[in-house]
């Protein structure tokens, strides 16, 4: 985990003085982790990227679906074992798991020193300061209510200096049957353009070269304040600097079509769009509570590819939703094949409390859902292998995310790739983080990462 040099890493050898953070979950939650780290540093706590050195560890949890929740519980169990063994003084738990299950968690895990629902985390940082000092402190911090859609406070960046996430809104107004996020994060609230411009300028000012725009639904930005997403994208793209923009989490329905002009023509807007469609079969989409049907999804994809030639489309699909049939899966497979999706994430349905679909009839057995998932990923991987193979012999522009290791290999991404979820390029040559370089592509690895040499 890298940190903004504004907050230097601790060099203390006194465990009691050191605080660390374990982050789980999505990019939106990573922004919360960065806010937590900065609030801890403002309390004159010594922050370390190595949780093994720390006397206090903050666990920022995820609770979107069963596997994410299991990961949170497993990480918490590991920290509590360390505490019981005397290797850790304090355990603090924050994030979506706490926001979702609230005080019942404290009954299940009484050895946790502090629980914190989602907030601006100032009260949490003050409580950790008191805890480290041996003073009395709260054991549970309730959320003060919906987080205002205001400018974010200062963050301790946990991404490389090359890119950073910019959260443009909070919450979601959709009621997708499988999703617990509206109950955790609340309804959609757009952040004001003036605040987002200020946040972007701060990030550009510390050398960030790619602003990755995230939200629960990016395309809903502005509708509650009389604006549309293209207005924001153009404002951010016109800021002074060497930055570019990447849009994630676009909802297909009510897509703001003026955005395609920017995706196609603006040199600072990457021709890339993350647009989770979830499925191709109309009956499944309707059961999910998604707007529109399979034909509408295909019309949207067709129009995007027509209006932005060469665009990279990333999507996410869900397998095993209650009532899904073999024919529905075949329709989805055909869509993945037809549109040659190479940037695609897939997961199986998790029956979640407090979601519209909880306990629905038509349950798909777990082994069948897993098989359907594997079939989709097989098509995705075949598409990806073909595309990456075609790139060998070409020269591509690559943004360097990580500097050369001892073997001289740096890591970067093309405009076709978002951080953390898409393939990377392993670059040989004299390059530095944040630099955009031309790379002669000479190979493809088993995991579909490209290899090449800076020229």
pLDDT tens for 23-74 read: 998 888 899 999 999 999 999 999 998 889 999 999 999 988 888 889 999 9
Asked if residue 398 and residue 381 are part of one domain, the reply reads no
Question: Is pLDDT above 50 for 76?
Answer: yes
CATH code for the domain in which residue 430 is found: 2.40.50.140
Q: How much is the pLDDT for 3? A: 37
Residue 378 lies in a domain: yes
- Is residue 120 situated within a structural domain? yes
Domain assignment present for 417: yes
Instruction: Tell me if 146 is assigned to some domain.
Output: no
- My answer on whether 43 and 118 are in the same domain is yes
184 shares its domain with 231? yes
Q: Chain-wide mean pLDDT for the chain?
A: 93
In a domain, 214, yes or no: yes
Both 91 and 112 in one domain: the answer is yes
Q: Assess whether 244 and 277 both reside in one domain.
A: yes
Q: Are 68 and 30 in contact (CB under 8 A)?
A: no
Claim to verify: residue 208 and residue 338 sit in the same structural domain: yes
Higher per-residue pLDDT: 192 or 101: 192
- pLDDT by residue (tens digit) across 379-419? 999 999 999 999 999 999 999 999 888 888 999 999 999 99
Same domain, 64 and 199: no
Give the pLDDT confidence of 272-306 residue by residue, as tens digits.
Answer: 999 999 999 999 999 999 988 999 999 999 999 99
Q: Which is more confident, 39 or 356? A: 39
**Host domain of residue 100:** 15-141
pTM exceeds cut of 0.85: yes
pLDDT band at 145 (very low <50, low <70, confident <90, very high): confident
244 and 354 housed in the same domain: yes
> How many structural domains compose the chain?
3
Average pLDDT, stretch 230-242? 97
Confidence at residue 328, expressed as pLDDT on a 0 to 100 scale: 98
Residues 436 and 371 grouped into a single domain: no
CATH number at residue 93: 3.40.50.12160
In this model, does residue 83 exceed pLDDT 80? yes
pLDDT for 136 beyond 60: yes
User: How deeply is 93 buried, as exposed, middle or buried, from its count of CB atoms within 10 A (0-12, 13-18, 19+)?
Assistant: buried
Order of strands, edge to edge, in the sheet holding 244-247? Answer: 163-167, 210-214, 244-247, 269-274, 312-319, 343-348
Is 101's pLDDT higher than 50? Answer: yes
Looking at the structure, tell me whether residues 80 and 204 fall in a common domain.
Answer: no
Domain co-membership, 383 together with 402:
no
In a domain, 9, yes or no: no
341 located within any domain: yes
- Whether residue 171 lies inside any domain: the answer is yes
Is pLDDT above 80 for 11? no
Residue 196's CATH number: 3.80.30.20
Query: Considering 361, 390, 419, which residue would you say is the last residue of a domain?
Result: 390
Say yes or no: 129 and 179 in one domain. Answer: no
């Amino acid at each position: 985990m890298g940190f903004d040099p504004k907050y230097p890493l601790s060099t203390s050898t006194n465990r009691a003085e050191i605080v660390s953070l374990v982050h789980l979950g999505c990019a939106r939650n990573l922004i919360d982790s960065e806010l937590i780290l900065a609030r801890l540093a403002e309390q004159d706590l010594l922050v370390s990227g190595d949780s093994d050195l720390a006397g206090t560890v903050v666990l920022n949890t995820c609770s979107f679906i069963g596997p994410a929740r299991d990961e949170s519980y497993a990480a918490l169990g590991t920290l509590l074992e360390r505490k019981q063994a005397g290797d850790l003084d304090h355990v603090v738990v924050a994030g979506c798991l706490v926001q979702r299950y609230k005080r019942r968690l404290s009954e299940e895990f009484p050895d946790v020193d502090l629980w914190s629902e989602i907030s601006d985390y100032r009260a949490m940082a003050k409580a950790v300061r008191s805890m480290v000092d041996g003073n009395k402190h709260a054991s549970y911090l309730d959320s003060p209510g919906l987080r205002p859609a205001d400018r974010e406070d200062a963050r301790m960046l946990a991404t490389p200096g090359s890119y950073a996430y910019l959260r443009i809104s909070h919450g979601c107004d959709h009621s997708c049957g499988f999703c617990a996020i509206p109950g955790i994060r609340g309804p959609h609230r757009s952040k004001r353009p003036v605040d987002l411009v200020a946040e972007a300028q701060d990030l550009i000012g510390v050398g960030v070269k790619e602003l990755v725009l995230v939200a629960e639904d990016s395309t809903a930005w502005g509708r509650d304040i009389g604006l549309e997403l293209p207005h924001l994208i153009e404002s951010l793209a016109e800021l002074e600097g060497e930055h570019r923009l990447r849009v994630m989490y676009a909802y297909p329905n009510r897509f703001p079509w003026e955005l395609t002009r920017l995706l196609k023509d603006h040199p600072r807007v990457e021709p890339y769009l993350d647009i989770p469609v979830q499925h191709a079969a109309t009956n499944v989409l309707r059961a999910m509570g998604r707007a529109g049907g399979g034909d509408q999804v295909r019309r949207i994809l067709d129009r995007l590819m027509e209006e932005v030639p060469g665009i990279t489309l990333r999507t996410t699909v869900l397998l095993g939703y209650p009532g899904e049939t073999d024919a529905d899966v075949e329709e989805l497979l055909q869509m993945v094949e037809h549109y040659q999706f190479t940037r695609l994430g897939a997961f199986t349905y998790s029956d979640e409390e407090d979601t519209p679909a909880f306990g629905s009839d038509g349950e798909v057995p777990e082994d069948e859902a897993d098989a359907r998932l594997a079939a989709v990923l097989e098509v995705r991987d075949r598409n990806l292998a073909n595309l990456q193979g075609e790139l060998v012999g070409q020269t591509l522009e690559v943004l360097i995310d990580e500097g050369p290791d001892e073997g001289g290999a740096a890591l970067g991404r093309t405009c076709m790739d978002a951080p953390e979820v898409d393939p990377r390029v392993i670059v040989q040559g004299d390059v530095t983080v944040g630099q955009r370089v031309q790379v002669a592509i000479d190979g493809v690895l088993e995991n579909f990462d490209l290899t090449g040499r800076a020229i």
